[in-house]
Amino acid sequence: MKTVIAIIFCLALGAYAQDRLGSHSKGLTYYKYIIKPELGIPGDVFTKKYTTQEWQALFDDGAKGFKKQFSNVSPKLDAFLASDKFKQIAPDLRAFTIFYAQDSGYLAPCDTKERF
């Protein structure tokens, strides 16, 4: 029974692209509601901190680099970075940072003027 459930779960993940790669728009929402209040940095400024390659590296190995880089900002953020929820949404945050990275040529529409 366990195996069957596991297979069904894998198929469900395999069918939809955003589950595999993360969704940049979901990552944007998570950033805005969970991380931004702690960091105090708008999404477009945050994502422009690093290049695509640098963000990729920060999210490698269970987002080790990301956690290290943004720890000690606030106890709330530290607790979040250590939580299962962070693990769960890390692919979306990764997609968000890469989509709007310094070298992506794209601006995040976070709270600023109307973008397209």
Partner 1 sequence: MTRRDILKLSAAAAAVAPTLSFAASESGKRKTADIDRSSKQRVIVCGGGFGGLTTAKYIKEFYPEAEVMLIEKNSHFTSCPYSNLWLGGIEGTSLQELSYSYLQAANNFGYRFVNETVTAIDKKAQTVTTDGQTYAYDRLVLAGGIEYDYDKLFADKEIAKECYMHYPPAMKPGSEHLSLKNKVENFSGGNFIVTVPAGGYRCPPAPYERACMIANYFKKNGIKGKVLLLDPREKPGAKPEGFLYVFKHLYADYIEYMPMSEIKDIDAANKRLTIERFNKETYLYETRELPMDEGNIIPPMKAAKLVELAGIKRTPHGWAQLEKLGFASVSDPRVYVVGDSGGHPFPKSGHMANSCGYIAAKHIAYAMQGKAVDKRADMPSNICYSMVGENPLEGISVHHEVEVKGGTYSVSAQSTKRPDANTGESIKPWFDAIMNDLFGPAKNS
Q: What residues make contact with partner 1 under the rule CB under 8 A?
A: 12, 14-20, 23-26, 29-30, 32-34, 52, 85, 98-99, 101, 103-107, 109, 113-116
Of the two residues 70 and 86, which places its CB atom closer to partner 1 in the complex?
A: 86
The alpha carbon dihedral of 21, 59, 34, 12 has a sign of positive
- Report, in Å, the least distance between residue 90 CB and partner 1: 14
Q: Token pair for residue 35?
A: 């991380």
* Spatial separation of the C-alpha atoms in residues 100 and 17, rounded to whole Å: 19
Of the two residues 71 and 112, which places its CB atom closer to partner 1 in the complex?
A: 112
* Spatial separation of the C-alpha atoms in residues 71 and 6, rounded to whole Å: 34
Of the two residues 26 and 49, which places its CB atom closer to partner 1 in the complex?
A: 26
* Spatial separation of the C-alpha atoms in residues 97 and 52, rounded to whole Å: 8
- Report, in Å, the least distance between residue 67 CB and partner 1: 19
